[in-house]
Chains A and B, each alone.
Chain A
Amino acid sequence: MSVLLIAEHNNKEVKPFTLNAITAASQIDQDLHVLLIGSKADDVAKSLSEVPLVKKVLHIDHEIYENYIAENYTAAILKHSDKYSHIICSANTFGKNLMPRVAALLDISQVSDIIKVISPDTFLRPIYAGNAFATVKSNDEKKCVTIRPTSFEAAETTGGSAEIEKIDAADLSENTKFINREEIKSDRPELGTARIVISGGRGLQSGENFKLITDVADKLNAAIGASRAAVDAGYITNEHQVGQTGKVVVPDLYIAVGISGAIQHLAGMKESKVIVAINKDGEAPIFSVADYGLEADLFEALPQFLEELNKLNTIQK
């Protein structure tokens, strides 16, 4: 039996997390097929076929799939998933919305958000916001699994030449209508995939003071994050939130400024490779996960930090 991965894309290109999910799926079974459901998405089909780990691309193209409505996607997946042992997608808002609907109709108890493939039926997944890890074995014959993208490397994107097979669309669901999508446009790297993230917390004291964070982010080409406290206080919009209820980030460098380190926040960033904490409270829990802690007033430390960065001859981008 083969595994079927549901691709996330915007009809023009593959979304990066699909590549992480491809890596995870190939660890379950190397006979990996990708299901692309889209509208005028031939370019996406082509780029998926060039991913060396992909053995076959199944492509459904129909205008009803332009806006990835879960109800329509589900019908399409059910129509073509019979001969697969696993149905897989990434555990971001796309996959979280979609997969349980598929699983329920197949009477499968889904395994959500895995961080490791132990065997084709056994997986490691975080529970309690990452405060415990559960090793779970699915006893369903067929399995629905979602993948935490940041726990798997992205698959190579060139060198493959998988067959692309065009397959039929399914029925349209009349009860859900797409209205619009407001995408947050930014010149900065995306929070979920940035190499460096600098986040501000309640210690910033106001939205204006986030400029101190922005200046450093500009210098380092970093994404900007925030604690839930800073978001709730209205200093910054919620798409910047890092934590249990926001985004989980795993950058090479995470700089937490004026963030005390509540459990919810740590859940979203403690897997980062290098963590820096700048906080004037030496007892703040954030220091217990920081590789480099600086006990200092952020209003003095951030401008100095920028100044020191400016002195460097080179900065990795």
Chain B
Amino acid sequence: MKILVAVKRVIDYNVQIRVKEDGSGVVTDNVKMSTNPPDDNAIEEAVKIKESGKATEIIAVTVGEEKAQETVRKALAVGADRGIHVKVDGIIEPLAVSKILKKIVEKENPDLVFMGKQAIDDDCNQTGQMLAAHLNWPQATFASKIEVNDKSLQVTREVDEGLETIEVNTPAIVTCDLRLNEPRYASLPNIMKAKKKPIEQINASDLGVDTNPRIEHIKIEEPPKRKAGIKVANVEELVQKLKNEAKVI
């Protein structure tokens, strides 16, 4: 069984986001970048499945500018066997990414495609579902547990009501939740080994996919700031304020 894992390079989740003064976007120069957190869970799960003997190959793929390759390199250091970097500059929407990934899936014929449930930059939560739609494959989103069977997967999904379990026939798309597993750190020897693993570069334009944005970003601005209130001296004062001033209890 072959698993394709899609990863995205985003601003590190610990970085305090700053909006550009001209309203054109957020500051990314000299800002720490990392793999989108739930994509790390996707890689980890694929590696665990391979370690259990149920998968033979893991391919990590990313779509983005030159430096996006770093996320593929990290996936290789954690256990992916080879990488694919689809090069494209500028803003690329989930719809276009899903069309690019469809081309990669048609070329590689994986049994499973894993990715994070959502990227923490645009917060769209679309790519996995869209890829599943293009391929007419079943989708198992927000996975917190995956059981691999012969020709199907049993996936527990985190939904608002609690947990839902579905069975999907393979090939299938799974989008991963943060609680699926605990992503490992790459060891130094594995980081060195990863440098020798191959990363194939493909230009998005060669795949014949229209990547022009359909959504115009008119303005990016800071959210209205919430003013800090007051500090109260003790619990008694707090309860009085809540009762008589805020009138919420």
- Given contacts A270-B226, A293-B229, A309-B239, 17 further A-B pairs with CB under 8 A are A94-B159, A100-B94, A100-B133, A103-B95, A104-B98, A112-B126, A122-B218, A132-B223, A174-B169, A176-B169, A179-B165, A181-B164, A245-B177, A275-B226, A282-B231, A292-B229, A316-B249
A181 near B158 with CB under 8 A, answer: no
Residues of A within 8 A of B132 (CB): 101
Residues of A within 8 A of B243 (CB): 312
A96 near B162 with CB under 8 A, answer: no
B120 near A176 with CB under 8 A, answer: no
How far in angstroms is the closest Cβ of chain B from A267? 10
The 0/1 profile, CB within 8 Å of A marked 1, for residues 219-245 of chain B is: 111110010111110111011011100
Q: Can you name 29 A-B residue pairings with CB atoms under 8 Å?
A: A70-B139, A91-B125, A93-B141, A96-B125, A97-B141, A100-B125, A101-B132, A103-B126, A108-B214, A112-B125, A128-B123, A131-B16, A132-B26, A133-B221, A135-B219, A136-B216, A176-B138, A179-B166, A183-B162, A196-B248, A245-B177, A263-B13, A263-B14, A289-B226, A292-B229, A292-B242, A294-B231, A294-B238, A308-B235
Report the tally of A-B residue pairs with Cβ distances under 8 A.
Answer: 246
B163 near A92 with CB under 8 A, answer: no
Q: How far is the CA of A128 from the CA of B157 in the complex (A)?
A: 24
Number of interface residues of B (CB under 8 A): 77
Tell me if A82 counts as interface (CB < 8 A to partner B): no
B249 near A177 with CB under 8 A, answer: no
B162 near A184 with CB under 8 A, answer: yes
Contact of B235 among A97, A174, A183, A294 (CB under 8 A): A294
B226 near A264 with CB under 8 A, answer: no
Tell me if A290 counts as interface (CB < 8 A to partner B): yes
A179 near B179 with CB under 8 A, answer: no
Q: How far is the CA of A134 from the CA of B151 in the complex (A)?
A: 42
Tell me if A238 counts as interface (CB < 8 A to partner B): yes
**Chain A: interface size category:** 35 or more
A274 near B246 with CB under 8 A, answer: yes
A138 near B215 with CB under 8 A, answer: yes
Q: How far is the CA of A125 from the CA of B134 in the complex (A)?
A: 26
Tell me if B63 counts as interface (CB < 8 A to partner A): no
A104 near B160 with CB under 8 A, answer: no
Q: Which residue of A lies closest to B26 (CB)?
A: A132
A181 near B123 with CB under 8 A, answer: no
How far in angstroms is the closest Cβ of chain B from A172? 12
A108 near B95 with CB under 8 A, answer: yes
The 0/1 profile, CB within 8 Å of B marked 1, for residues 229-264 of chain A is: 000000000110000110100001100000000011
Interface of A is mostly: mixed
Q: How far is the CA of A289 from the CA of B227 in the complex (A)?
A: 6
Residues of B within 8 A of A102 (CB): 133
B interface residues (Cβ-Cβ under 8 A, vs A): 11, 13-14, 16-17, 19, 26, 93-95, 98, 120-134, 137-139, 141-142, 154, 157-169, 172, 177-179, 213-223, 226, 228-232, 234-236, 238-239, 241-243, 246, 248-249
Residues of A within 8 A of B139 (CB): 70-71, 97, 101, 176
A interface residues (Cβ-Cβ under 8 A, vs B): 69-71, 74, 91-94, 96-105, 107-113, 122, 125-140, 173-184, 192, 196, 220, 238-239, 244-245, 247, 252-253, 263-264, 270, 273-276, 282, 287-296, 301, 304-305, 308-309, 312, 315-316
